[in-house]
Structure 1
């Protein structure tokens, strides 16, 4: 049987019968098959969505066509084995709900669709949509034999593709109605019950009109109308219909015999109401109802039922299992109820027949049937989507040319295990082995280079090597990574630094958010889901920042993943608290010191603000980044001849202390370039591109020593500036820093359309 199932439909707390059914289906699957995993993908009828429980992993808006494709991409990348779709025309967008076809056409796993409505006289659009859904589904489910017949005769669905599975019901005991009546203060009374969302098509007025005759025979009878008014009716008309029913009861002289419970009932409460009922009534006005969940619940718990002959009732109440009365006939309703109340053996015999048949409808039996359908679906071939994911790598509109991205030294430093972390001059220094920090950076770089339109098979091999290193570094069950590995592939620690875990998560998020390699995305997603929560408990602000970057990259592709969004917000909140605790007017920073990779802290807030659409985060990120860059820029003003002077690692800079000017590290330069480009992307202010350009020139000699840190002969980058010389070693961190900064400038070039900015702000001296 499948171990990973996704249920698609609307979902509680949305007030809808399909939402209740989807929730019951999910809970039954996870209850009776706990060894399997499941999740829910919910469709929203309001843009803001709902406060869903944790099982809702992804949500999409009914009227946003693009979100349907994104939902499919999410499911594909999650390695979902089976999708169980709940179909009702009204819950999906487009003509006759045709937006759902976009989702189905992009799925790569079998789909089992439950049709909650099958029309006998569909219009052309309804016919086309349902037939296409059936074509795209490996199996289809209906809840009645009439539904099966309609699918075959009207919609041309092959009979061997159709499963008839009853509407599930809770496993309720066969109890005496008097057992529950004291719960509602109706001891000693005979109880009639109708429940479900209240709307005019339910025919409740016909029962109220029948009540005077019934009350005349049975003065203690009470008719309970249980259920909230349908949300659509509330939106359009308020409580006009409910008020009209109350007035009708008063006019008929049975006001005291009708009880309205205006509430959307939970299962436990519903069981008590059903238990208290002597007769259940569904007086619907239209025969065209292929399924009724309320009828299934009442019937299955052993209630005597009086119903109009809509399709589901005709089938379920046949052979003496209930009483059918004509539509819109209050006299017939009165006759049926009086007859049942007078004939106790008839009523209890009817209850017993219903209850015995209802044993086959309890959720455990129903879920067994669904799982059989899942298994059958997986044995059938499925059609893959017609086109793969594409990269947005068209040419920018500018006329300038950035220097080429040369990967010579990257290949030199990399073997089949990963990238060697250090070099002696330009040669890999094998004795010092590998680290997760550098392989994570290298993985990010190769994904960015691919996005810049310079990917090939050789680069794809590098990407796989770096991903494989992270895969091996991951500590299963702990949510963290090892960092240092010797050249003979022996780990040198039980667990790596907080920052190495953060950088690895950043790399995973970049794979999901930017790569076009579906296999890479599918690999990265579950690892990110397992590791991201661990960051919340780590103490390092930089690890939070890296995690924020990874979450934001991930959410570029799957913006409705509620788990990732939740953890992103938690990490942002921690960073904000750190800023509040440390800031002052002269030192508006997150810590009492500046050390390494400083720009990542404001960069993370800028990206989080963009992702969460929170302008206060963007403003704080821009403010702190402006302070940081200004602190490290010589001269006054962006138009000056000044240059970038990063905080030195030989002592760093503590508030109130002396700042270190050397050793200057390429990592600081790259982080500052990247943060400035993010600021430009958000603000579209050219000053940020100019800053990024000026900072980048540090690599090519615009620095304290006037010496090039980049080596054009090898394509590598030297390890930094000492007080009197350039460090001649060309290790992984430095080379990756140069290449990442350059590649991000290439990507920014593609986004800029203003000719003046393109001709001036991105002119690099290389």
Structure 2
């Protein structure tokens, strides 16, 4: 076992009144005592804004309802650098659908995670399954408290058995005997005490135990059923004490009001030990079999109590082979018969108590703590890739055109697909035809796009679409065309216009087809002037990229030099207005195609020695790379489902191929300008997102079709392969292959 210097725990914590809080407290104390050379502390999950008066070991407070709180706690944990993080998991204590806010923290935290599962669902719903799958993926070890839990992890969730540790629920070391003295202290002298302990709420089956009491009292007149524990705080908040009162009324209706005691409080450990010692029989009449652990059952068993229980999973395993008595669920008669049989046979009951106490020695907290420390050591001793994608996957050898062809007809490329089939209902758009035209230009031919006649034919189609999209009457490109070849507007968005300018500007310098070049030049000169009146920073950036390419062919055009500088200065004005130490960006929100803004400043600044644009563009791109790199080292773009507003909550999904493509292209331009290899690494990190280097470890590139899925969602892939996504992948691959070819040529020249 590795030496652990720092151990962090995440879960509810005392004085919060819940079983998880008590468990976390007891586990922390036991581990702390069992590893005196280690420093341990708590990140406490709180269910109320004002929190609790926590003890000193609680260093961090996590608001269960606030998604950003999970990110802040992850950052604090990373700063503290624990050797391991022990997470207590129960559906209901973390915010979001099925507690999914917890995943926000686990995606960011660097330490290996050991997760204790207090509930394991054999039949989870969709949200619960998604959370469990991700929790398993991000945990180095999974701790369950019963063999049944390990079996469910293996059979239902396909967890590697080597990753699972079965560690029993810890219990205090309580001596056997002393019942009469404890009864005297509680004023239960002369009574045969039955006990149920825990937070009160529906689902505990207590009504069946109460209904069993008349038959028990008939045979054992001095029987007393003690129901110990406060009503669950969440239940009190919803309906007050209505449920407790219904149980009190039931006891009266059954004529056993004097034989049933409700002790409505959350007792101290010392008081609980006294009640446990006083009990003759412990009852757990839970009606739901799918309960993988019960701390109260473990505690009663380890204290050497005779137990009568329904056969929920934990009880069935713990009380096997006569270690306790199992009765059918929801059966008051069976409960009364079992209780009377035990109370009528004191020798059998005492033998059961001795066996339970003996078996319980393996469950006392010092023993459990050592088992946890062994699990922590296993987790800390090996690097855990969050998914198997961190090993470098080779680049696909060629850019393939079959899906682009599938998505195209004689008019242009369709916007959307249903799976890998073109969706005619959505028609065409200038945005995608501009991207498709860029794919056909010669820079990608090192990527193996062939034959060239096919490329030229496709380029002609896409350029013809752009020519038809241009409206000379207003100097603007239309964007949307129906499948019936009807334009749906007189002018498209500023961003779509900027992309079209970018495409034809690039065509001016890169196409080898003279007719294409002349048409690109005509469209560029007719459309570029409109950009001066635009207000969209992305439209400026797209146009700047097109102007930069145009100037490669026509470097003497001073008017375009001035326009490029002017648009760059507009971005610089926004930068000076918005950027701060913790927000190195020129807008108050990160939305879509973000890296293109930094890229435009980089290529523009590279043409103007002494300009701040290059420095600013590189700084912005570096910041963007940092915030879009997950703690495990893979690329995580800002999601389109809410984006990332300044001082707001970042959206992690839906992640779009457009963002990975923009990052690849911007980083490669940064590499070309600076010659710094680190930018090549960032470009490859972003490209690997397509191949499975992402939050779900799933490739978006479909090698069977040559297309690319439309996005990464919390539950999996958006499996439609639309034009934007498929072109984003193909353009990224073309650029990566071209960069690889450039590097190879450089090596040859040096050699």
Q: Taking structure 2 as the reference length, what is the TM-score of the superposition?
A: 0.52
Q: Deviation at 1:47?
A: 2.0
8 Å Cα contact 1:224-1:259 kept in structure 2: yes
Q: Deviation at 1:217?
A: 1.3
8 Å Cα contact 1:134-1:140 kept in structure 2: yes
Q: Whole-Å Cα distance in 2 between the matches of residues 341 and 450 of structure 1? A: 71
Aligned residue in 2 for 1:74 = 76
| Residue correspondence of structure 1 range 129-528 to structure 2 within 5 A | 129-383=131-385
Change (3 A) 1:254 1:400: closer
Q: Whole-Å Cα distance in 2 between the matches of residues 130 and 399 of structure 1? A: 47
Q: Whole-Å Cα distance in 2 between the matches of residues 289 and 183 of structure 1? A: 33
Change (3 A) 1:449 1:324: closer
Q: Deviation at 1:451?
A: 6.8
Q: Whole-Å Cα distance in 2 between the matches of residues 401 and 121 of structure 1? A: 55
Q: Whole-Å Cα distance in 2 between the matches of residues 515 and 56 of structure 1? A: 33
Q: Whole-Å Cα distance in 2 between the matches of residues 21 and 296 of structure 1? A: 12
8 Å Cα contact 2:285-2:310 kept in structure 1: yes
Change (3 A) 1:400 1:341: closer
**Structure 2 residue matching 1:173: 3-state secondary structure:** coil
Q: Whole-Å Cα distance in 2 between the matches of residues 65 and 257 of structure 1? A: 48
**Structure 2 residue matching 1:14: 3-state secondary structure:** coil
Aligned residue in 2 for 1:89 = 91
Aligned residue in 2 for 1:52 = 54
Q: Deviation at 1:315?
A: 0.2
Q: Whole-Å Cα distance in 2 between the matches of residues 252 and 137 of structure 1? A: 50
Aligned residue in 1 for 2:12 = 10
2:103 corresponds to which of 87, 101, 104? 101
Aligned residue in 1 for 2:26 = 24
Q: Whole-Å Cα distance in 2 between the matches of residues 213 and 130 of structure 1? A: 44
Q: Deviation at 1:399?
A: 7.4
Q: Deviation at 1:401?
A: 8.9
**Structure 2 residue matching 1:381: 3-state secondary structure:** coil
Q: Deviation at 1:79?
A: 1.5
**Structure 2 residue matching 1:302: 3-state secondary structure:** coil
Aligned residue in 2 for 1:114 = 116
Q: Whole-Å Cα distance in 2 between the matches of residues 123 and 450 of structure 1? A: 39
Q: Deviation at 1:450?
A: 11
Q: Whole-Å Cα distance in 1 between the matches of residues 100 and 570 of structure 2? A: 43
Change (3 A) 1:34 1:232: same
Check if 1:128 corresponds to 2:130.
Answer: yes
Aligned residue in 2 for 1:715 = none
Aligned residue in 1 for 2:497 = none
Q: Whole-Å Cα distance in 2 between the matches of residues 13 and 449 of structure 1? A: 36
Q: Deviation at 1:288?
A: 0.8
Q: Deviation at 1:263?
A: 0.5
Q: How many correspondences in the alignment?
A: 415
Q: Unpaired runs of 5+ in structure 2?
A: 391-537, 542-566, 587-622, 632-646, 649-751
8 Å Cα contact 1:108-1:383 kept in structure 2: no
Aligned residue in 2 for 1:34 = 36
Change (3 A) 1:220 1:102: same
Q: Whole-Å Cα distance in 2 between the matches of residues 359 and 401 of structure 1? A: 70
8 Å Cα contact 1:222-1:259 kept in structure 2: yes
Q: Deviation at 1:120?
A: 1.3
Q: Deviation at 1:448?
A: 6.0
**Structure 2 residue matching 1:201: 3-state secondary structure:** coil
8 Å Cα contact 1:107-1:384 kept in structure 2: no
Q: Deviation at 1:27?
A: 1.1
8 Å Cα contact 2:137-2:386 kept in structure 1: no
Change (3 A) 1:305 1:141: same
Q: Whole-Å Cα distance in 2 between the matches of residues 448 and 236 of structure 1? A: 45
Q: Whole-Å Cα distance in 2 between the matches of residues 361 and 172 of structure 1? A: 11
**Structure 1 residue matching 2:322: 3-state secondary structure:** coil
Q: Whole-Å Cα distance in 2 between the matches of residues 276 and 40 of structure 1? A: 34
Q: Taking structure 1 as the reference length, what is the TM-score of the superposition?
A: 0.51
**Structure 1 residue matching 2:383: 3-state secondary structure:** coil
8 Å Cα contact 1:196-1:294 kept in structure 2: yes
Q: Whole-Å Cα distance in 1 between the matches of residues 151 and 385 of structure 2? A: 26
Q: Unpaired runs of 5+ in structure 1?
A: 388-393, 406-446, 454-513, 523-555, 558-766
Q: Whole-Å Cα distance in 1 between the matches of residues 252 and 127 of structure 2? A: 44
Q: Deviation at 1:308?
A: 0.4
Q: Whole-Å Cα distance in 2 between the matches of residues 217 and 368 of structure 1? A: 46
Q: Deviation at 1:77?
A: 0.5
8 Å Cα contact 2:138-2:386 kept in structure 1: no
